[in-house]
A and B are shown apart, each in its own frame.
Chain A
Amino acid sequence: MISVNGNQANSLIQVRGLDKTYRRGNEDIHVLQGLNLDVDQGDFVAFMGPSGSGKTTLLNLLGGLDLPTRGSVTVAGDEITHMSRRRLTQWRARHVGFIFQMYNLIPVLTALQNVELPLLLTRLSRAERRRHVETALAIVGLSDRMQHFPRQLSGGQEQRVAIARAIVADPTFLLCDEPTGDLDRKSADEVMDLLQRLVNEHRKTVLMVTHDPLVARIAKLTLHLEKGVLVEAGARQDAAAGAVS
């Protein structure tokens, strides 16, 4: 179950009292302020919020790419906010699959080599790696594009290769930062179908940032980032209704 109250026990991802303050010049920018979040295995949650509200910041903290000013992030019992940078790097390789708005494929590597990258950090043999890559590319429907370079693929295909790369090492959860932000409607629908299938058929856990309400609707729950904390869409409407009455 997804919750923003911070009172859930034993959820897969537990975020407690997360603060993130950036310093720009003499000014402190308080982006996240006491944010709580619980996400269970197999959940699919969408984060929405205006530009600059801290969505990317939140994903970076959840994925161990950055450290919070205060608070904790615990994933499957590991508190990542106190890990050394070295351990954090290893933890990312093992537990997180990243999907970016601009795909972030390595342009000089083929689709196959891009997808293989996370496996190079495992002990798998060459043949086993190849098998995993083929499976991942089959899941995203690009088995016939293995030897293509990113520039030989459409945006939608590139993002599907990126998704294959994110799932190939079977991470604990996927973090998607506006995965359809640079795609046309049709490609966006394909990518969303794919993410939905990953959740429904492969029991993946997906946390996604999006601007697009149509995209957000596919998630099980949409959370809004407001003034540094997360609020449920329903709760916000209630609050708004309460304010009017």
Chain B
Amino acid sequence: MLLKLLFGLGLALAAAAALLLLLLIVGGILAGLLAPFLGAVPVSYNFRSLRVRWASTLVAILGIAGTVGVFVAMLSLAHGFHATLVASGSPGNALVMRAGSTSEMMGGITLDSIRIVQDKPGVAHTPAGAPLVTQEVVGVIPIPLIRTGTDTNVQVRGVSANVLQIRKFVQLAQGRMFTPGLDEVVVGKNALQTYRGLALGDTLHFGGVRWKVVGIFNAGGSAFDSEIWCDARILSQVLQRPPDIFQSATVHLTSPAAFQRFKDAITSDPRLNLEVEREVDYYANQSSTMTRLITVLGGLVALIMAVGAVFGALNTMMAAISERGREIATLRALGFSSWNVVLSFLFESLLIAFIAGLLGCLAVLPLNGWTTSTMNMQSFSNVAFAFQITFGLLSLGVAFALVMGVLGGLLPAVRAARRPVALALREL
């Protein structure tokens, strides 16, 4: 009872402290940024002081810039991964899997079920009247990476021949589509660049079959770009899966708005035990584990670096105020208030942070669009994706820099302002 009370009290205190810190940070940043308008000490004083003390300023700038760089790079990595997977889904497509599956890898839909699905309302058809549905089989095969020569898992997707009409953003860049019934594959453009032996005309061995690469497709930077596509029926045989069982079906809808009608029709059909999801949502969910992992890991690294950077800024500002003790005292003697002194030094520290923030962002900007790859935790296969640096992430980086600046600058600024004038004037 007492323990519980103490615990609650501690929690409340911690929350209050956190709130106070937040207020201090936000208030400090606002005050510091507005210092040119709120304060009386001219900002040229800060600009020139920083320049005169350039060596020490540089140390603080580099510390914060490095932290911001790592922070933005990590976020853009997570963002790029998320964007790649989200791009794989079309809003006008619905993914049908066996009820209870969280991933295509776990599915299992019979051909009979797919025939029922095809006739449901909301399914788009070709002008000739054929339903736009691709029933798919997925598997992973080991292929060496070009860069290291070591094997990695590559996703192979057996698809229907009409798949390009369903995933309309996927286009053939070289060669042609595979011929249904033949041992032919088409390769995504990232797969071509990442894995060995996938060029047009190359032969690929897996499942005891020699596959010929007959085309290269561009899937617009989505996860499909890391895949190899072939005829679903042949893949099913080769992987020795039961005949007429697929892992998923992707349906092109008459319009994105038709989704609910289509979903209701399937879930209310007692013959079917299937789950329907928008293709976009499926891929967005798939990305969340990895995105979270990158964000948390990146955040942790950035946090540790931030502690160092804050101490760097703190040290620089402490040195600044102790070197300028007599200058500050002179300003105070002339009638500048302690508030003016606090504002001036907050501004100076935020100036350092701002420059560092810009520098950190600038340093990682070349990473934008740079392609790397990682294991997709859901499909256990390698996915290529690019760093995506957005204006929002850059702003976040600068904001992070300002937080470090205010944490490093607040204490020295207050100390500078509180020092008794008569005492400080006696300093040499």
Residue positions of A touching B, CB distance < 8 A: 56, 60, 63, 65-66, 85-86, 89-90, 92-94, 96, 98, 100, 102, 104, 106-109, 113, 117-118, 120-121, 165
Contacts and interface: CB of A to CB of B under 8 A. Distances in A.
Nearest to B340: A121
Interface string B141-155: 000000000000000
Nearest to B420: A66
Interface residues of B, number: 26
Given A66-B422, A120-B40, A106 B335 contact: no
Contacts of B422: 60, 65-66
Nearest to B50: A108
Given A65-B425, A106-B45, A108-B49, A92 B335 contact: yes
B333 interface: yes
The majority secondary structure among interface residues of chain A is: helix
Chain B interface, >50% SS class: helix
Contacts of B428: 102
A107 B42 CA distance: 14
B196 interface: no
A121 B40 contact: yes
B44 interface: yes
A113 B44 contact: yes
B326 interface: yes
B425 to A, nearest CB: 7
Nearest to B326: A104
Contacts of B421: 65-66
A120 B45 contact: no
Nearest to A98: B333
Given A89-B335, A92-B335, A106-B331, 8 more contacts: A60-B422, A60-B425, A63-B333, A66-B420, A93-B335, A100-B425, A106-B45, A121-B40
Nearest to A61: B422
B48 A109 contact: yes
Contacts of B335: 89-90, 92-94, 96, 118, 121
Given A66-B422, A92-B335, A121-B336, A106 B40 contact: no
B331 A117 contact: yes
A85 B332 CA distance: 11
Contacts of A118: 334-335
B419 to A, nearest CB: 12
A107 B337 CA distance: 20
B171 interface: no
Interface string B323-359: 0001100111111111000000000000000000000
B337 A86 contact: yes
15 contacts: A60-B422, A63-B333, A65-B333, A65-B422, A66-B420, A89-B335, A89-B336, A89-B337, A92-B333, A92-B334, A96-B335, A98-B333, A109-B45, A109-B48, A121-B336
Nearest to A86: B337
Given A60-B422, A66-B420, A66-B421, A120 B332 contact: no
Nearest to A116: B42
B52 A106 contact: no
Contacts of B425: 60, 65, 100, 104
Contacts of B330: 98, 100, 104, 106
Nearest to B330: A104
